[in-house]
Chain A
């Protein structure tokens, strides 16, 4: 419990005003998939660019000046600092405004926020990353973190599904992983009308047939739309995964990112403080969690 006048020991990296956005330049806009662009940002201030550190699974609050602010997961790995990569889907006002910006325009960034994945706990174990659709955005950070520190993890398995090949985020990057031996990279599409897809075709859960899983020594990081949770979680439980080895990244409305504005509250937890990464055990014990 915190005392009222307790001076915060852990200041956000960026400043004393946790709401202060710091200006960052859009250095690259990569059109991965229609309406799912990858934005690469670099802080205008070199000091910030050098010192910004985050954990996989954390997010930032991204401001498009004059329009608004929103939470966006950091898709780049902390092992590759200096720039931030954000995979943003165009859905509403602020995301639309972001899509109107061009390379060299500036946006505001503050963070990182959220708990991130419990890396200390995961290390030394197998990791199973399971994502559908946009769920790859937060998992990509974890993926590259693990690959860049390969010796700290046992087996790494990625299961990622998209509707069609052209909907697959980070497609080039991920297909390049398929042939690597230090990761079991399983990619699937629901359908392949063009007939060019060289990987799996079928729904995401079918990938379990191709994965070797040792539930008691594994952590599973799952992210995606509700259907993904529905099917993947059931399979993991059937396999005998401990409930607190299943890690989910939850989405809630957010206005502050720092546990004040109240919007992301679930029962008695704040998604922005105690989340967005929750264990499955937390999930079933919190009302209206998923």
Chain B
């Protein structure tokens, strides 16, 4: 028996590793190890008042902190029966888009692309190809500016509250964002060019099950309460209230992340899953870009997730622009958050974080204090699927050289854009 161990997975958020055990050519065991300490945030928010929950749980992960915050708000509002104003919904979606732009730009340009071009990281890449890195930094900065304007801070937004926003952005701030987004549209196109020019990453093919939020507008990260699971053209619907049937989590000894499967098979969430579940949005500019990237859906290559992220950059920029145009057209109103009347009950919210499905579910007492909280993160949902694809990647690797296998495994891992501190989450059953 031989063992391949990647001790520290670099260029991902958090601490994880990969272990593959081989018996001759046969892969006997594959593990995605998580070394991140357990912060036990879910049991620790027990007893906290509803307004303290989002800031604490957003600390699960910085990169998806806006998604955590907004999902938390959505769950609490569901529990208390609060409906927010249309303007709040628009602003929240804008915040989601900002985070998605930032996260995708960060992942693609600073973490993933260096792999394709054989650089150890963006710093080294910048020395030879500064334009590529600068392009990524521009997009990333725009995403952050959106988050700062709407959320009050690029990481761990403070302005989004149960019922609305502390202060809505001023007109001139929106106008400034608009001009930034107009610029960014060209940058997003350039990102497609860059992606299309990369050497193909064609070393892991696998049947894949995809799961994503089914949103009324087909491409919202925020609205919607059902998950659609796509297997070989078959589609199944899971309502939010039944999220446990989707996750079927089990604790595994090698990791503080729980592993999920749907009807026995691992599934993938994230950009590629979103495009697969909601294919109808792939029109116009997106369809052209898709052709340039030679992407066809459903994909059988997890590496295609990087392409899907690039496509989403185009879409996010477009949609963010639309939202701002609408806010400017309707005139931004100085709204205060909806009044909050806590009540005992349970609320569950599902959204699409940059890395895929994110679920927050809370049980409250009559004073609006948490009785139980449960958070399921995209990387936790992806863990089993990642292990499956690691296995396929090794199986399909003709050269049995450790360096090659190791590199491919890391690329597969990074294609998932794993967020390991996110995956450390705890569930109470």
Physical contact A–B (CB less than 8 Å) = no
Which B residues fall within an 8 A CB radius of A? none
Interface residues of A (CB under 8 A from B): none
